[in-house]
């Protein structure tokens, strides 16, 4: 279980599974793959809180007139959206860890899975879509994961452009878990275009464009963030999980 607000991960194995229901009790939002089925299997009421299922928005895509079909799996969407090459564990390996009682390997695998789901959820909530990338295909599949009151990606950039405030952007692969902003580029937004954002890294520096769908996270630069400032979803939201309030979700894997 990944708590987005606290940025913490807790793993439940064996007898610890009895504690899951109590651990989820404080949260108002739970996100995960097939999360309703998971909650029902745990004996929990999925209708008591907001549930965000991270299953693919569509199951398949027709590739050509001959009728060739691409199956859209969670792994395909997560990898295409976040840049994480192997986002979810091999079910056979996970089963072998269970059979052998190798709790250490199992816990590491589950924690890696939930971090990938966090990055996937974060992107979908920020942009309102996730990316289907396969061969010549690069398409956006719509999501409705943002919470009421969340500041949208466009609104954050528009506000920064109008006020001249600097923003931190994480571009390319998903942010790291330990330090999400380690790879951030601090820029000023000059123009927001349909497919890109025109930015500069400082006064008198050359301008350059960044593809909008390559931006994984955005925040106001810390010097522009006051006590009353509100950050958007990119500041923290994870894959499978729950939230202790409407602004700070957590994940469960």
Q: What is the pLDDT of residue 234?
A: 30
Q: Which of 66-70, 88-92, 163-167 has the lowest mean pLDDT?
A: 66-70
pLDDT tens for each residue of 150-209: 889 999 999 999 999 999 999 999 999 999 999 999 999 999 998 999 999 977 789 999
Cα-trace Rg, the chain = 19
SS3 220: strand
pLDDT tens for each residue of 203-243: 778 999 999 999 999 999 987 665 433 333 333 333 334 33
Q: How far apart are CA 134 and CA 127, in angstroms?
A: 20
Domains and CATH numbers, the chain: 2-145+237-251 (no CATH), 153-229 (2.30.30)
Q: What is the pLDDT of residue 113?
A: 97
Q: How far apart are CA 62 and CA 69, in angstroms?
A: 5
Q: What is the mean pLDDT of residues 51-79?
A: 94
């Amino acid at each position: 279980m990944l708590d987005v607000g606290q940025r913490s991960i807790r793993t439940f194995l064996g007898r610890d599974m009895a504690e899951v229901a109590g651990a989820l009790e404080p949260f108002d939002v739970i996100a995960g793959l097939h999360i309703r089925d998971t909650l029902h299997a745990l004996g929990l009421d999925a209708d008591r809180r907001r549930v965000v299922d991270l299953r693919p928005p569509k199951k398949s895509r027709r590739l050509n007139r001959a009728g060739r079909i691409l199956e859209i799996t969670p792994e395909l969407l997560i990898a295409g959206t976040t840049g994480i090459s192997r986002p979810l564990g091999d079910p056979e390996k996970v089963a072998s860890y269970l059979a052998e009682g190798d709790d250490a390997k199992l816990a590491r695998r589950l924690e890696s899975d939930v971090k990938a789901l966090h990055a996937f959820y974060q992107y979908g909530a920020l942009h309102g879509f996730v990316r289907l990338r396969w061969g010549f295909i690069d398409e956006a599949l719509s999501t409705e994961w943002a919470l009421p009151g969340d500041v949208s990606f466009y609104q954050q950039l528009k506000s920064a452009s109008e006020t001249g405030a600097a923003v931190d952007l994480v571009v390319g692969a998903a942010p790291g878990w330990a330090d999400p902003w380690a790879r951030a580029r601090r820029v000023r937004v000059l123009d927001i275009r349909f497919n890109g954002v025109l930015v500069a890294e400082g006064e008198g520096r050359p301008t350059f464009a960044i593809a909008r769908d390559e931006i994984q996270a955005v925040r106001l630069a810390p010097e522009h963030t006051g006590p009353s400032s509100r950050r958007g979803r990119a500041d923290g939201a994870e894959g499978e999980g729950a939230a202790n309030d409407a602004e700070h979700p957590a994940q469960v894997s």
